[in-house]
Structure 1
Amino acid sequence: MGMAYVTTASGQRKRKFVYGKTWDEAHAKLVELHAMEHSGVPIPDTNATVSEYLVYWLAEEVRPNRRPKTYQGYESVVRTHLLPGLGKKKIRTLRAQEVRAWINRVRAECQCCKHGRDAQRKKPVCCAAGNCCKATLSPRMVQFMHAVLRNALQHAVREELIVRNAAKLVQVTTPSYGTGQGLSASMARLVLKELREHRLYALYVLAMTLGMRRGELLGLHWTSVDLDKGTLTVATNLQRVGGELRIVQPKTRTSERTLPLPPMTLEALREHQERQAQERAAAGMEWKEHGLVFPSQIGTPYEPDNLRRSWGPVRRKFGLTHRFHDLRHTCVTLLLDLGAPPHVVMQIAGHSALDVTMGVYAHASLDEKRRALERLNEALS
C-alpha cells in the first residue's frame, strides 16, 4: 500500500491510497500519483457509477446544448443499452477491456432475448419455444452506442472526473454505406409529369431540383422564399420529437443555405401559392396559419408519413424501388452527371463535407463508366 496527499478534482487536499500485489507495483502507482500532483493534474476523486454520471450528462450537457432529436436518440441508447450493460461500473475505474466486452456482448445478443432482464419475463415466448429470431444490432447501431459512451466519457475527462477515456481505446467496425440511388433524367421527367396536378407538386419539384431533405421541405416557411428575387433559404426543419411535430434548426451549419430558384421551380412555387390561397379560403375558420409552404389542407404542419404515402402510388405505377429520400439523390447525381463542380453540388445539397457528396450520394452508372473507358481507349490507341 502507498499513500500521498494530493489535490483532487474537487479542489480539496485529500489522502489517496494506492495498492499493489507487490512492493514494486504499489511503488510504481505511488510514483505516478506524485507525478500527476507535481504536473498540476487534479486527481479524480469521484465514486460515481457510470449510471449516475450518464443521467447527469444527459440532463446538464446534452439536453441544454443539443437538438431535441439528438437528445432523444442519446437518451434512448443510454436507457436501453448503456445503463443495463455498464451502469453499475465505477466511472473512475472503467477499463477498456470492460467496454470492449460489453460491445461484443451487445453485438451478439439476440434482441428478443434481451427481455430476459425483466424479472417478470425471464425468457420471451419465441425463445422459450425454440423459435428465437436471432436478430442482432446493426453495425450502425453498435457504432452509435459506442459514440454516445465515448462522448459522455470525454465530457467527464474535460470536467476532470476521470483521467482517460476508456471508450476511446476501443475500436468498433465502421459500417459500410450504400451509394445513393437516384432516378434517371427521363424517369424524373415522367414522375413530375405524373404529379403535375398533385397538391404537393411544387414540393416534388423542389426535392428534385434543389435536393432538399424531407424535413427541410415540410419545415419551409414562406418568409424564407423570395419569389421576386428568385431565392430560397433553408433555415428550418420539421421533425417528430417526443410524439409531436416541431420546427427545429438544421442539424449542422452547412445545412443552412440560400439557393437560387430555377425557372421551373419558381413557376411551381407561384402556382402552389395560388393553390394554397384557394385552400385557405375553402377551409375558412378551420385554417390554422403557421406560415408553412407545404402544410396540411388546414394549415397545420404536414405529417411526414403522409408524404411517404403520397409517393407510394407513383412508385407502384412506374415499378420503382426508390424511396422519397432518393429524389434528393436524383438531384445530386444529375448535377454531377451534367458536369457541375462537386463543391457547388455540396453547397446546394447542404452536405457537411465533400466526401459525403462524392462517396455516399454520387455514383457512376455503367454507361458513364463505359464512356470514360472509351475515351481512355481512344487516348491510348
Structure 2
Amino acid sequence: MAKRNPNGAGSITLRKDGRYHGRAYVITTSGLRKRVSIYGKTWDEVHNALVELQADAINGIPLPDTDSNVGQYLNYWLAEEVLPNRRPKTYQGYESVVRVHLIPGLGTKRLRDLRAQEVRVWLNRVRAECQCCKGGWDAQRPKPICCAAGECCKRLLSARMIQSVHAVLRNALEHAVREELIHKNVAKLVKVPAPDYRIGKGLTTAQAKLVLKELSGHRLHTLYVLALMLGMRRGELLGLRWSSIDLERGTLTVSTNLQRVDGELRLVLPKTLSSERTLPLPAPVLAALVDHRDRQAVERASAGMDWQENDLVFPSRIGTPYEPDNLRRSWHAVRGRLGLDDLRFHDLRHTCITLLLDLGVPPHIVREIAGHSDVGVTMKVYAHASLAERLKALSRLGEALS
C-alpha cells in the first residue's frame, strides 16, 4: 500500500480530464493558513510546484493572498499609484500601454501565477505583430491598400516601443512585490533588446550663425536664440513665462514645460528635478529677450480684446499657448531654405551642448546648463567628435609614429 503523505505535506490526484491536481496548506500574506490548489499536465510538474511552495513556507516567505488577474491589478495600479504620484503625461503614456498592449495580451492571467516564460513569449509575439492588422487600420480606409487587401504592410512596433511596454509591466509588477502581492518581479527576468538611439547631428558654429541670421526679424527669432544659446527643450521654451525671467539680474529659471495631455495643452513641471534650473543670460540672449518683450507689447496692443494673458514668453498671436506642431512647421520652413532638411528642432539643443563641450567647458557645467539628470547622459549622447576632430587626432598620432 502506498505511503500516505503526512498532514500538510500536500497531495496530488489525477483528475478525470487528465490533469493532475495538487493541494497543500500554506501561510498567506494575510497571516492565515490556507489550502491552495495547483494544476498541471504531469505529476512531476505539480509535485515541483508543491515543493517550491513548501520551500517558501520553510524560508518564511508567505503566499500572496490574492486571486486577482493581471488586468485587474494594472487598473488598480494606474488609479492608486500612477495617477496620484506621476506627472499627467507619464500617466497618459502608461495608461495607453496598459490599455492597448498589456491587458489584451496578459490581462486574463492570474497575477500570482504569471511566469517569466509567458512574458517572454508574449513580448516576442507583440514584436512580430503587424499593428495595421491588429488595429484594422487598412480595413477602415475607403479602399484598402495593404493588410485588408491581402498584402500585409508589416508595420511593427519600434524597439523603443517594445522597451516601453516591457518597462511599464516591470514597474507595475515591482509595485506588486512591494505590496506583497507576488514574490518576485518576473518581468525583470525577461530582457528586451535596447533600441539604437539616433545621435543628433547638430550644427557647426558657422551653420548656427547662418540660422540666426536667416531668422532675423522672424516673430520667433528669440525662441531660436534661446534654443541655440541656452540649449532649452521645445516644451521648456513654449512653457517659459515672463515671471521666470529677471532681465535686471540677467537670469532665467526653467520651471514649467508645455505638454499636450488628454488633447489639451498644459503647463506642467519640467521633465525631471534636474531639469528645473536657473541660467545666467549672456549679452546676446538678454538683448534678444528685451527686443522680444517690446515686440510682444505691440502684438498685445494690436490684438486688443482678443488677447488672453498667460504670462507666456512665446505664446500665439492672441496670448494662448503656442501649438508645438506650429513650431515644428516653422522650423521645417527655415531648415528647407538652408538645405538642412534632416535636422530636427531638438538638434538645436544638441548644437548648444556639443559646441559647449567642443569649447572645453567642463562636463559638469554643461550638465547643469542642459538640465541632465546625470553627467553620463551629457557625455554619452552629446560628447562625440566631428570627422575633422577625428582626422586631427589621428594625424597627430600618425606624426608621432612616423
TM norm structure 1: 0.92
Match of 1:365 among 370, 386, 390: 386
In structure 1, list runs of 5 or more residues that go unmatched.
Answer: none
Give the Cα–Cα distance (whole angstroms) in 1 for the partners of residues 318 and 45 of structure 2.
74
| TM superposition shift of 1:34 | 4.2
| TM superposition shift of 1:221 | 1.0
The aligned residue for residue 18 of structure 2 is none
The aligned residue for residue 63 of structure 1 is 83
1:272 aligns with 2:298: no
The aligned residue for residue 141 of structure 1 is 161
| TM superposition shift of 1:164 | 1.3
The aligned residue for residue 104 of structure 2 is 84
Match of 1:248 among 253, 268, 275: 268
| TM superposition shift of 1:36 | 3.2
SS in 2 for 1:140: helix
Show CA shifts across 1:180-214 (max 9, x none): 21011111111101111011111100000010000
Show CA shifts across 1:268-327 (max 9, x none): 011111111111222222111111111111111111111111112211111112111111
Show CA shifts across 1:207-266 (max 9, x none): 000100000000011111111111111111000000000000012111111111111001
Superposed, 1:106-121 pairs within 5 Å as 106-115=126-135
The more displaced of 350-359 and 288-297 is: 350-359
The one-letter code of the counterpart of 2:286 is: L
SS in 2 for 1:112: helix
1:325 aligns with 2:349: no
Give the Cα–Cα distance (whole angstroms) in 2 for the partners of residues 259 and 40 of structure 1.
54
The aligned residue for residue 374 of structure 1 is 395
The one-letter code of the counterpart of 1:227 is: L
| TM superposition shift of 1:45 | 2.3
The one-letter code of the counterpart of 1:362 is: A
The Cα RMSD (Å) is 2.3
Match of 1:177 among 167, 174, 197: 197
TM norm structure 2: 0.88
In structure 2, list runs of 5 or more residues that go unmatched.
Answer: 1-10, 12-21
The aligned residue for residue 240 of structure 2 is 220
Show CA shifts across 1:78-133 (max 9, x none): 1111111111111111111111110111111111111369xx99xx8733422211
Q: Aligned residues: percent identity? A: 70
Match of 1:356 among 377, 395, 400: 377
Superposed, 1:1-381 pairs within 5 Å as 1=11, 5-17=25-37, 29-30=49-50, 32-115=52-135, 126-321=146-341, 322-381=343-402
Higher relative contact order (CA 8 A, sep 6+): 1
The one-letter code of the counterpart of 2:180 is: E
Alpha carbons 1:179, 1:359 under 8 Å: kept = no
| TM superposition shift of 1:14 | 2.4
SS in 1 for 2:299: helix
Give the Cα–Cα distance (whole angstroms) in 2 for the partners of residues 227 and 42 of structure 1.
62
Give the Cα–Cα distance (whole angstroms) in 1 for the partners of residues 373 and 52 of structure 2.
42
Give the Cα–Cα distance (whole angstroms) in 1 for the partners of residues 54 and 262 of structure 2.
49
SS in 2 for 1:151: helix
Alpha carbons 1:180, 1:362 under 8 Å: kept = no
**Rg larger in 1 or in 2?**
2
Give the Cα–Cα distance (whole angstroms) in 1 for the partners of residues 226 and 43 of structure 2.
72
Alpha carbons 1:211, 1:329 under 8 Å: kept = yes
